[in-house]
Structure 1
Amino acid sequence: MFRVLVLLLPVFLFFRQIPTTLSLPDSCECGKLSKCIQSAKILSEGSLQYLQHIDKGPSMIEANLLVNILGIPRHEHDNFVVLPNDSISFDWLPESHDVIESSRSQPLLTHSILLDAAATPMHTTRITVLFDEINMRLRSQYKISIHSIYNAPCNEMVQLEHPGSLKLVLACEKVRGANCQNAIKVDYHPQCNVDMKYSTRVFEADGKGEAEIFVAVNDTHYEGAKYFIAYYGLCDSKTINRYTKKGKCILDMKQATSKRFCPMEKGDCLFGIDRNLTISPLMVGEYGIQLCVVYDPLYEKPPIAYTNTRILAHKVTLASSSLAISSVTPSLHGTILVYASLIILVFILLIAIIVYKCYTGRIRCCRRKKQIDRFVLDEKCLNIHHNHILGSGKFGTVYLAQLSAELHGPVILDDQQRVAVKTPYDSKEARALFMEEVEGAKCVGRHPKLVAIIGTVMSDDFMHFVMEYCHHGNLKEYLAKRRNYMLGLQNRNIDLNAPMANIEGVDFEQVFTVEDIHRIASQACTGMAYLAQNSIIHNALCARHVLITSDHSVKISDFGNITFENNSHKFELPTELTKWTAIEILKGSQPSPKSDVWCFGVLLWELSTVGGSPYHNTDNRNVLSLLEKGFRLPKVDNASLLLYQLMRELWCDSPDDRMTFAQLSSRLSYTIQQDYNASHRFVTIDRFAPYYVDSEEDTKTLPILSVPEPGKNNRRTSNDPAHLLSESERLLGFRR
């Protein structure tokens, strides 16, 4: 009997399935569309893409997703679509490293395209979603859900019985074309939203209401924690945020009180183990608390993006009592108004004084914004190699150094944690110039084409300025080494531009091409355009102040002479920069971004000569007289007519006639395209050129061309520098 039942069981199951199979409709009927749908599934298609300033708006992150709807008959595919507002939802999933950001815009569904039904057995729609760039900076996570689809012929929205969902992490390293320099590094920031328990007590002291909050947290769950920090205070009742959930509120970091306490068994912690948080006086309203675990004291604050100061906090319920916790009694209104008026008047007066001093240039505007110097480093984390000198200048020496392996920051270093450290000479003047450069580097901020400041180490006995290490040194020395190597090849009768050149034994890391001239000029222009965009004037652009990294990239350096646009404070011109300085500055005018454009033209000439010295046989006192007579640096063989014409446009007498750095960047790109064939040519070195001077001391041995004094015979001779104009200049029409 048992064997018979076993044999009949498959037959019974087969016939049981027949009604279900027959109940499926051949086509989806209006009113019964839910029977057509089985489930939905969302897949990520490829990597994320960074879109910079689309349609002149903010930068966005583009994600392409595939939505598969199972169960729709093939001939009904075209009738179903995914609608932006009704079909799809985006839920932000707060993480320990993520924070509330009020300026964060909602994800936007921009495209919904049905794929070819013949190419896939199921209903597949490709959707494109744009996320705010802030999500990438904060490494945010979203849950994307498909709840329904729309049928056009029936004009009916069909709810999915099994909605499809996908968790998408907007990590910067997964976004193509993104700059991850300012993105959050999860390993270093504190862990917030810590699980905790608390108890409260409300009492009256000295005639006012107070409260105590005792925080209990399991220390063993946070191995490696240095200490805890609690932020607590009144919740921001005016902010209604879509991310606020039950039991949560928005806490303003500027208004909140903070307290640090140690893990119970942390012997080397300095903050104690007292976990009582005191609120005094107790005001009317809801209170919030955010507890964070700090693993690195350098990264103590939650990773708040941009200028936002609000974070998501746990809402604290204070035990009710009969205490009078009114905000202010009526009898105190008059007194408070008087004191508030006096404070406002004093505050307005202080603001006026600061604005006046900033406008007149007596203080730097950026200093008033500084509350905590985030650039201060611990001396113990720095190992200076005093026997390895990278260079020296008029007020200090630069050494090679290494940071400790535990120290991490926003500047990406090599695997050896190498940095450059500048130390001033032991004199009052050297220290003053040193501090000017440090403050200037802080003001310019960080950019891929600027040498980044890492920090400072200060004490009564020494001062160290820690900055990004550039392996190949400054551009002046970089060009000189390649010029000498190219001269050596020429002495061996090796012509790299010949059709059948002998390249045996040639080190192509040391050669220099016309393409290198264009590459270095374009990268330097990008860095200067950033400074001009922020109304910062470098005032010292030259080959000595451009550094070259290990991968031959360009970094602008030396910010000790920077000024700000429309600054009325008199600019003091460094004597050694006279030959790079714009003509209007030599006449006593104030610097402007257009005066940096003049300096860039001289830098182009240095590149074209592979390290030549401008006005090599002219004393600094005579440069202005030469420029007023119309003399400009001559064309050299490595500069095409287009490139030299560009230089001459940068040396116009009037700053208004010169282009901006943004326009200059476009002109450089155009010049590179027009000189494409010539750009692959190797440079040639004129071994007899008189402008190859490796130091300022060498210029003292050269004959100095002087300018005739007024009242004397000013007839031009062959020794008059203004008469020394090349034939190419005359043909181009720059001199008549």
Structure 2
Amino acid sequence: MTVDPMTVDRPDDRRPLWFFGAIKRTDAEKQLLYPENQTGAFLIRESESQKGDFALSVLDEKVVKHYRIRRLDEGGFFLTQRRTFASLNEFVDYYTKTSNGLCVQLGKPCVKIQVPVPFDLSYKTVDQWEIDRNSVQLLKRLGSGQFGEVWEGLWNNTTSVAVKTLKPGSMDPNDFLREAQIMKSLRHPKLIQLYAVCTLEDPIYIITELMRHGSLQEYLQNDAGTKIHLTQQVDMAAQVASGMAYLESQNYIHRDLAARNVLVGEHNIYKVADFGLARVFKVDNEDIYESKHETKLPVKWTAPEAIRANKFSIKSDVWSFGILLYEIITYGKMPYSGMTGAQVIQMLGQNYRLPQPPNCPPQFYNIMWECWNAEPKERPTFEKLHWKLEDYFETDFSFADTDNFVR
């Protein structure tokens, strides 16, 4: 059977086992890294950034490497123009017989593993999310902050959950309930899922899915230099960008995007949390949210226009994402180290930007720099940031030597 890449809607049982369709790069890596796959395991997927192109992902020992498959104008496919193929079937058949520039010769197609999706505590909490506080047992304090504490808990003696307790007086319960309703409506694999709330007495409980490794900030600081390297750092950034691209598509803003508000779960899963401050940002068609003047701002993560005028947009979130990238590449270091908030504001007014950190690749720093454009409209969308990070390691063979691949 010859694969026609334009008929990607054909049923899965009629596709070759190696064709995974529109799977993301990070998801392809997770699939290939499962123990069921051996060196040479591979899959072909659609390219997110280049419509009509495809990408080959292949397992080399314990590392996944990616190659861009280009299309000829007259049809056909190639990694290098010195060798072209009439179909993806021919492409696969050739590289299963010889590596010819690939990191390894292709072996068996990647085993498909079903990835779990977020769930609700029970059918009753899908629409009726106020639950009995006595059904929640607090087991272990995971952390504390300005507005309360975070605990590992157990719901109904069966389900592990995270419980955020809010200090009395830190938030109007009515305001919170409005925000909780927003959070309940936002469902995405890279956003922390709100399960339920307890608001009838203090302290207010916010019950969410549990991410056992805590905040990304602490994770970076604790594991720096041991098991976290550029591949993992780009993966972290891509997953956060995916969640933020979803918020962007739903016309919401976060307003406090930072490593402390990204949580880490099992199997290198990263999710955006604390988007309870999110607001619908459609205001007079300006896509701007004007916050209350008494709101405290995390200055070192906040875009200049938000500092100056208290006005937030998805583009101010993009600025914050650039600061988050700095945290990721420096293993959780404080941005603008040694500077006060007032000094940061003054320096930003003089067009100062965080310098390129040591050991930060220019390609990664360029993405950060784009996020810090003084003109909000010139900053990239999260959708664009997402595919840039998804395709960060993909190798373009179109005019390359055969040894030009991701090592």
- Shorter-chain TM-score: what band? 0.5 to 0.7
**Any residues of structure 2 matched to 1:439-450 within 5 Å, and which?**
439-443=181-185, 445-450=186-191
Tell me which residue corresponds to 2:270: 554
TM-aligned CA deviation for residue 60 of structure 1: 7.7
Q: 201, 208, 218: which is aligned to 1:467?
A: 208
Tell me which residue corresponds to 1:529: 245
2:148 maps to 1:396: yes
Aligned residues: 295
Tell me which residue corresponds to 2:220: 479
Structure 1 contact 425–431 (Cα < 8 Å) conserved: no
CA–CA distance in structure 2, aligned partners of residues 553 and 390 of structure 1: 18
TM-aligned CA deviation for residue 297 of structure 1: 7.5
| Unaligned stretches of 5+ residues in structure 2 | 1-5, 16-111, 397-402
Structure 1 contact 440–559 (Cα < 8 Å) conserved: no
Tell me which residue corresponds to 2:306: 585
Q: 424, 427, 430: which is aligned to 2:169?
A: 427
Determine helix, strand or coil for the equivalent of 1:390: strand
C-alpha distance after superposition, 1:577-629 (max 9, x if no partner): 11111122122163221111111111101111101111122221232321121
**Any residues of structure 2 matched to 1:362-377 within 5 Å, and which?**
373-377=127-131
Tell me which residue corresponds to 2:315: 594
2:128 maps to 1:298: no
Q: 359, 364, 367: which is aligned to 1:646?
A: 367
Percent identity between matched residues is 29
Structure 2 contact 118–189 (Cα < 8 Å) conserved: no
Structure 2 contact 290–312 (Cα < 8 Å) conserved: no
CA–CA distance in structure 1, aligned partners of residues 252 and 391 of structure 2: 26
Q: Which amino acid aligns with 1:667?
A: K
TM-aligned CA deviation for residue 513 of structure 1: 0.9
TM-aligned CA deviation for residue 395 of structure 1: 1.5
Q: 369, 375, 379: which is aligned to 1:658?
A: 379
Structure 1 contact 532–593 (Cα < 8 Å) conserved: yes
**Any residues of structure 2 matched to 1:680-719 within 5 Å, and which?**
none
**Cα distance 1:297–1:587, how it changes in 2: closer, same or farther (>3 A)?**
closer
TM-score, with normalisation over the residues of structure 1?
0.37
Tell me which residue corresponds to 1:381: 135
Tell me which residue corresponds to 2:346: 625
C-alpha distance after superposition, 1:635-683 (max 9, x if no partner): 1123101111121111101112111111112222343336999997xxx
**Cα distance 1:470–1:181, how it changes in 2: closer, same or farther (>3 A)?**
closer
Determine helix, strand or coil for the equivalent of 1:528: helix
Structure 1 contact 441–559 (Cα < 8 Å) conserved: yes
CA–CA distance in structure 2, aligned partners of residues 451 and 524 of structure 1: 11
CA–CA distance in structure 2, aligned partners of residues 442 and 433 of structure 1: 14
TM-aligned CA deviation for residue 461 of structure 1: 5.0
**Cα distance 1:462–1:425, how it changes in 2: closer, same or farther (>3 A)?**
closer
Determine helix, strand or coil for the equivalent of 1:554: strand
Structure 2 contact 301–320 (Cα < 8 Å) conserved: yes
Q: Which amino acid aligns with 2:358?
A: D
Q: Which amino acid aligns with 2:298?
A: L
CA–CA distance in structure 2, aligned partners of residues 678 and 618 of structure 1: 41
Q: Which amino acid aligns with 1:539?
A: R
Q: Which amino acid aligns with 2:339?
A: T
2:355 maps to 1:634: yes
CA–CA distance in structure 1, aligned partners of residues 310 and 134 of structure 2: 46
Q: 540, 547, 556: which is aligned to 2:256?
A: 540
Structure 2 contact 395–406 (Cα < 8 Å) conserved: no
CA–CA distance in structure 1, aligned partners of residues 394 and 369 of structure 2: 19
**Cα distance 1:297–1:432, how it changes in 2: closer, same or farther (>3 A)?**
closer
CA–CA distance in structure 2, aligned partners of residues 678 and 636 of structure 1: 26
CA–CA distance in structure 2, aligned partners of residues 427 and 678 of structure 1: 57
2:230 maps to 1:514: yes
**Cα distance 1:679–1:441, how it changes in 2: closer, same or farther (>3 A)?**
farther
**Cα distance 1:458–1:677, how it changes in 2: closer, same or farther (>3 A)?**
farther
CA–CA distance in structure 1, aligned partners of residues 305 and 124 of structure 2: 46
CA–CA distance in structure 2, aligned partners of residues 677 and 473 of structure 1: 38
**Any residues of structure 2 matched to 1:289-368 within 5 Å, and which?**
298=124
CA–CA distance in structure 1, aligned partners of residues 297 and 283 of structure 2: 23
C-alpha distance after superposition, 1:369-406 (max 9, x if no partner): xxx94212233432222xx211112121111111226x
CA–CA distance in structure 2, aligned partners of residues 665 and 658 of structure 1: 13
CA–CA distance in structure 1, aligned partners of residues 307 and 170 of structure 2: 28
CA–CA distance in structure 1, aligned partners of residues 250 and 392 of structure 2: 26
Determine helix, strand or coil for the equivalent of 1:671: coil
Q: Which has the higher contact order (CA 8 A, sep 6+)?
A: 2
Structure 2 contact 118–193 (Cα < 8 Å) conserved: no
Tell me which residue corresponds to 1:323: none
CA–CA distance in structure 1, aligned partners of residues 393 and 189 of structure 2: 22
Structure 1 contact 395–434 (Cα < 8 Å) conserved: no
CA–CA distance in structure 1, aligned partners of residues 353 and 202 of structure 2: 47
CA–CA distance in structure 1, aligned partners of residues 404 and 272 of structure 2: 29
Structure 1 contact 475–547 (Cα < 8 Å) conserved: yes
